Amino acid sequence: MEQKVCIAMVPCPGLSHLIPLIEFAKLLVLHHNNFHVKFLIPTLGPPTPSTKSILNSLPPNIDFTFLPQINIQDLPPNIHMSTQMKLTVKNSLPSLYQAINTILTSSQSEKNNLVALVFDVFSSDVIDIAKKFNLLSYFFVTSSAILLKFCLSLPKLDETVSSEFMDTTKTFDIPNSKVSFKVKDFPDPVLFGRSSETYKAFLLLCQRFSLVDGLIINSFKDLELDAIKSMKDFHNVYPIGPIIQKESKSKENLSKCITWLNKKPKKSVLFISFGSGGTLTNEQINEIAFGLESSGCNFLWVLRVPSKLSNSAYFSGNHDSDNDPLNFLPLGFLERTQNQGLVVPSWAPQVEILSHGSTGGFLTHCGWGSSLEGLVYGVPMICWPLFAEQRMNAAILTDIFKVAVRPKIDEEDWIIKGEEIARVIKIIMDQCSRDGEGLKLRRRIEDLSVGAGVAMSENGSSRIALSNLVLKWEEKVITQKLKCFPHMN
């Protein structure tokens, strides 16, 4: 009889962290049907309808439990989003301990064989639970291998480098790698400064990477070979990506978008979306509208109610039923562009849009999930980072992968002007010039798209990495059985 293996996964709050773990779990059980996955989900307030819908559609060998809600009033006020996520998980540890204990004492054999905890980087306190139950522990990294390399280097950098490390006018080399970044593109917590509690918490997280049994990365070897090779001397690294959604979980605006795209020429449409949590100011919305109109490019724009806080929709989705986002567009914009563009409120089926033949460009906030979707579907990008690690992702897409352009911010008003938006749109959507920048970007990303498919194929590098990880977990089950029944040895 085939031995059942159970893995528990602990995400942190936020759909952009939950969805990659879910897709990983689905990939795992699809190719290794002797596995059972249990999601144990810390929550900050009630789960959103989108979250419930995604979880209720899981296959039978994946199930989930919501841990008791953490009250936002119990957290310190005005803390950074990353600290908020980390504290939500930390405050859920007693409930998590009980949940894992219940799994281990269950009469169901597949759950008795719980061997590992897989958790998000902001769920690092779960390491302590893993050690208490003698379970293997793994970070699931929902960012690039290059960014992970930066995080692994941060503790030593903090000890050895001068104040230039925090000088946003400088460019900094990442140790033992072939890449460098402008300091101003470092992740948010680093830019808060060494004396801030946010930075100290992030540094502690980076120090804890050395405590786990392995690092599971949503990337692939041919995309980030140097970064992955540089980590293998110190960690068990499993690049098992690109793992993306095969279809959008919400069908909101699906028919409307696809019907409209079907009427447009091949690769003629620019898709504009700022992910599940990004928002813009009203002034910036006006500038985008001006840039789109003056560019003459076909566009499909997902628009949210404006906010001065760029991540205001991160936890809630910002589906503001009292305000129609379209009311915030410049007067007459929709009428003037009715044959040029489509604006949909709040949500659109991103996977179906990016994979559609009429889509030729992607203006994105540079979340890693969206970046991978652009890569997989071979759509060159305009980088518009908003928060978290998105500025570093933007630098990776433009300077290292060379599949994107990045508009310049007007440093007087700290917005991106309409003229600049029109300029980068014309670069990315140019299909006429044989030697133009747009064509080079398109050829480069099409090559990477092919490489992504090869990595995920049956004998590809990512499938091999997943098989190596599975073997580790299966060996743990056998070891546990031998300890319980030494006469079997």
Phi, psi (degrees; rounded to nearest 5) at 247: -150, 155
* Region of 318 on the Ramachandran plot (φ > 0 left; ψ -120 to 50 alpha; else beta): left
Measured distance CA(405)–CA(44) in Å, rounded: 36
* Residue indicated by tokens 């039978």: 60
Tokens, residue 258: 């696809």
Measured distance CA(115)–CA(425) in Å, rounded: 49
Residues 6 or more apart whose CB falls under 8 angstroms from that of 212 comprise: 127, 137, 138, 139
Phi, psi (degrees; rounded to nearest 5) at 24: -65, -45
Measured distance CA(282)–CA(294) in Å, rounded: 19
Q: Is the peptide bond before 242 cis (omega within 30 degrees of 0)?
A: yes
Measured distance CA(23)–CA(16) in Å, rounded: 11
Tokens, residue 307: 């906010």
Measured distance CA(20)–CA(172) in Å, rounded: 30
Counting DSSP H helices and E strands in the chain, the numbers are: 19, 15
Measured distance CA(115)–CA(105) in Å, rounded: 13
120 annotated active-site = yes
Amino acid at 240: I
Please tell me which residue in 120, 125, 188, 222 is annotated as part of the active site. 120
> What is the helix (H) or strand (E) element at residue 405, kind and residue range?
strand 404-405
Count of positions (residues) in the chain: 489
93-104 vs 81-91: helix axis angle to the nearest 10? 50
3-state secondary structure at position 278: coil
Measured distance CA(51)–CA(414) in Å, rounded: 34
Tokens, residue 183: 């300091």
Nearest to 393 by CA among 364, 414, 416, 420: 364
Q: Are the beta carbons of 164 and 241 closer than 8 angstroms? A: no
Tokens, residue 210: 């050395």
Measured distance CA(141)–CA(129) in Å, rounded: 19
Residues 6 or more apart whose CB falls under 8 angstroms from that of 356 comprise: 258, 261, 269
Measured distance CA(245)–CA(19) in Å, rounded: 8
Tokens, residue 317: 């989705």
36 annotated active-site = no
Which sequence positions are flagged as catalytic?
17, 120
